[in-house]
Structure 1
Amino acid sequence: MTIDPWLSRWLPLVLERVNDGRVLEIGCGPGDDTATLSAAGMKVHAFDISSSAVRKTKIRVPSATVECRDLREPLPEQATGFGVIVASLSLHYFAWSDTQVIVRRIRSALRPGGILLCRLNSTEDHNFGASGNPEAEPNFFLVNGEPKRFFDKCSVESLFAEGWNTLSLEHFTTRKYVKAKALWEVILERSDA
């Protein structure tokens, strides 16, 4: 893995919207974004399904609250009224219907005007499974036995069509995992609708 400072350019917006200083991070992995947010003075509540990732993040960012949690389960009871939620490359493991439910839960955890910063696998992400694997449903493959969803622009727009204002939608290639990884970076605001 290499350093991927994607979140740095969004810190001014995050600081503007964070409200009470609390940020929810979904799928923290080894804590890269947790460390960035914490260093910027935020109180981070992070979770990941991997107990190994949670252990690493707790050691790396002791000021953060970090727990092991499956995103398919309801969000923590205290996950309400957030001004900012971050979900970097963590919303792609699910069937479309489950993904829609998860996005509705995320929206419910934000206060009106709160923002979601997320990154999603792109259908152009061929180095990491967007082609050549058994397809369970459109753009949802079994990659080395693990489910992985890949998004095109239309599916990103569809996923966030109701209750969201899109502030930014950009396609990028990162070297986070050494090989080129294609992804969508999406910044959304919870609308009152």
Structure 2
Amino acid sequence: MFSDPWLHRWLPLVLESNGAAPVLEIGCGMGDDTVTLVGAGLTVTAFDKALTGVVATRLRAPAATVECRDIRDPFPMAEGSAGCVVASLTLHYFPWAQTLDLVDRVRSTLQPGGIFLCRLNSTHDKHFGACGHAVIEPSYYLVDGQPKRFFDEASVDQLFERGWQVLSKEHRVTTKYIHQKALWEVVLRRSDT
């Protein structure tokens, strides 16, 4: 894997919007984004399902609170307490109804006006499973034994149609992995409508 400094361009927005509120990072993996967030002076609570990632993140970002938990478990922060939530390529493992529920939980965790930074698998992500696999439901496949969802622009819009102000929505490619990965990078603000 290679460096993927996608968060850097959003740090001014997070710092401006966040104040002293903590950041919740969902699915921290090996801690790349956690290191960026802590390095910007933010208070971070992160979690991941994989213990190896949790251990690595704790070593790389000792100032962060890092827990081992499943995304389907209660989040480690109270409702309305986070100034920002970050979820990079972590919301794609679930059926549509469960994905909608996760996004509602993210919104509930944010304080009013809080920022949600997320990246979602794109339907153009051919190197990582967007075609040629058993269909579970539309755009949701069994890829090498692992369910994975892929998003087109309409499904991104549908996912965030209520309770969000979309600040940015871009189809992008990352070179973090050996092959290019196509994804949607979406930045949202929690709204009251």
TM-score by length of 1: 0.98
Alpha-carbon distance, 1:78 to partner: 3.3
Which whole-Å deviations, capped at 9, do the CAs of 1:18-60 have from their partners, x for residues lacking one? 1214110000000000000000001110001111110110111
Give the drift of 1:79.
5.3
Is residue 22–residue 83 contact of structure 2 (8 Å, CA) maintained in 1? yes
Deviation at 1:77, TM superposition (A): 4.8
Per-residue deviation at 1:76?
A: 2.2
Q: What SS does the aligned partner of 1:162 have?
A: coil
Partner of 1:117: 117
Which residue of structure 2 aligns with residue 12 of structure 1? Answer: 12
Q: Any conservation in 2 of the 1:54–1:67 contact (CA below 8 Å)?
A: yes
Amino acid at match of 1:38: V
Show the counterpart of 1:137.
137
Contact 2:24 2:77 in 1 (8 A): no
Identity %: 58
SS across alignment from 2:151 = coil
User: In 2, Cα distance between the equivalents of 1:30 and 1:79?
Assistant: 26
Structure 2 Cα separation of the partners of residues 48 and 183 of structure 1? 20
**Paired residue type of 1:156:** V
Task: Tell me the residue number matched to 2:49.
Answer: 49
Residue 190 of structure 2: aligned partner:
190
- Matching residue of 2:26: 26
2:70 paired residue number: 70
Letter in 2 for 1:134: A
Instruction: Give 5+ residue unaligned stretches, structure 1.
Output: none
Partner in structure 2 of residue 148 of structure 1: 148
Contact 1:19–1:82 (Cα < 8 Å) also in 2: no
Task: Determine the C-alpha separation between the residues in 2 that align with 1:43 and 1:111.
Answer: 15
Kept after mapping to 2: 8 A contact 1:21/1:41: no
- Distance in 2 (alpha carbons) for counterparts of 1:175 and 1:77: 32
Query: Deviation at 1:135?
Result: 0.8
* C-alpha distance in structure 1 between counterparts of 2:119 and 2:127, whole Å: 17
Aligned length in residues: 193
* Contact 2:77–2:109 under 8 Å retained in 1: no
